Each structure stands twice: as C-alpha cells, then as structure tokens.
Structure 1
C-alpha cells in the first residue's frame, strides 16, 4: 500500500504533561493552530460546543505498536482483545480521536476542556462535533469497557 504523509495542523498546549488514566473531565488545554495555516481556518468554529480532535500518540514508539491481542489498559483481569477492539495508544498508526468541549476561540487558539491528549501532542485534524454524526441506533459495548471507562471523564 502507498504511504500516507500527514502534517500537524495544531499542537496541544497545557493540560497534562504525563499520561495517566481517568479523571480527564475538566482538564483544560489550548489547541494552537500551526503557523502554516491562516487563523481564518477556525472561522465559525465558535458556534459549536464540542470538537472532535484527531491526534498522534507521538510518545509511543512505533516498535511498541502491537497487533496482538492484549487486555485493554493493561488490566490483568481484562479480556484479551485485538488492537481495534479498544482505544489505547499502542496502535499501528498511533492515532487518537477525542471529543472535547470548546470553551473559546481566540485568534489561533482553541480553549478546550476534556481533551485526553498530552501537552505538546500534534493535532492532525479538528472537526466540529455534529449531533447528526452520532449513531442513530442504540450503542452496544461489552461490560468490561464500561467498567474500565467508569472514571475516565469523572469529575
């Protein structure tokens, strides 16, 4: 297959500097648009309450990305699941996707809360969250996922 080359459109400033699970609710950060893009790229974004952020887990060594089944979040009591059955950072392309609250837009800066990306993380895309893109049918997930995520966005 042909390779894909992506360049960051922004960087995360602030928030957490080290990864630890849970309690991401109300974690504040700034997403600063890179200089190669005009600030007008953010025009109209202030009308939205939430954003979908696509970012790279840049602190994960590519050699550590695994395709073999493992317990999610390294939970020894969890089921063995493949890399595409959980949202952890050890992925083939090291991509993360997060929905966060948009608090304000100021020039090249997006002030956000609840973004589970670390300070300095390269942002590959910024999208407004639209209700119409949420699933129309009820969402189903295994009980282990609900147990593991119980504290993730807890205040």
Structure 2
C-alpha cells in the first residue's frame, strides 16, 4: 500500500443487468440496460430520481485484473498513430483503481430497477454509486481534449452493428 494511504472497501449498490454482453472499444450507443439496485434498499432511495434525464454512474471494471494495470505511457489502443500518454490520460481498465464513470440516459424507473441507455458497462458490472447528473456541476469554462480522442472515439456512441447470429 502506498505510504499514508489506507485501502477503501466499497460495497456495490447494485449491478448492470442486460445491455452489452462483451467488452468493446466502440459502438456503445443505443443499447438499453438495467441498473438493478440492491434489494435491501427501500424504494424511496430512488424517489425523485425520475425528474432527471441522466445519471452519473460509478462502476467497476470487474472483468479486468490487477495485471491489466499499466503505469506507463503508451499510445491509445496501442495504435502508434496516436502519441503516447500516461495512465491517467486514458479512460480504460488499465487504471490502478479499475473504476469508471458513465453518464447514461435514464429511461424509466421500475421499483429498484433503473432502465437506462448509453451505459458503457457490460452485463454483470458492479455499480459502486450513482447520482443524478447536474449540468451546473459539470465542467466550467472552456473544455478541451487531446486531438487524438476525437478520432479514436468517432464511433463510440454509434449503435452496435448488426451481426448474423
């Protein structure tokens, strides 16, 4: 453990049911899933959440392993056409904590099932926390990104291509 830092134990509040079945780098859009909250939570924990269009969802890369962590500079998706950048300039499972944040659209609530779309987690993913998305608490001032992100993520929110069974 790093000097002066204590481990944090986080119990998931729920899991992703349905949606994406396999990990993919692109085509994350238009897929519906359910965030199923723990059954020991009272239904009033979601009271008022239906007034929001989007959620902020914190989830764990549960298919990753500690061996996947990459604490060095590398080209995004290992493609040499993009310049190397450090671990914290990426948004993938190779991060030390192996957690992610997504902003899916909330479609409806059925008991403790939150029906969402555009959640880039897969079936079975542990959900660590969620909150409504407040635009007022989003980025302030001009937003800029590394140029390679626009090229790399051009198909990210496209619907998954149809594939023969």
- Which category describes the TM-score, using the shorter chain as reference length? over 0.9
Segments of 4+ in structure 1 off by > 3 A? none
Check the 8 A contact 1:33/1:39 in 2, yes or no: no
Deviations 1:11-65 (A, max 9, x none): 0000111111212111110000012322221111000000010000010011221
Aligned residue in 2 for 1:122: 126
User: How many aligned residue pairs are there?
Assistant: 155
Identify the residue that residue 85 of structure 2 maps to in structure 1: 81
The answer to whether the Cα contact below 8 Å between 1:50 and 1:129 also exists between their aligned partners in 2 is: yes
Question: Where in structure 1 are there 5+ consecutive unaligned residues?
Answer: none
Indicate the residue corresponding to 1:47 in structure 2: 51
TM-score by structure 2 length? 0.90
Gaps of at least 5 residues in structure 2 are 160-165
Equivalent residue for 2:68, pick from 50, 56, 64: 64
Task: Compute the RMSD of aligned alpha carbons.
Answer: 1.1
Q: Secondary structure at the match of 2:12?
A: coil
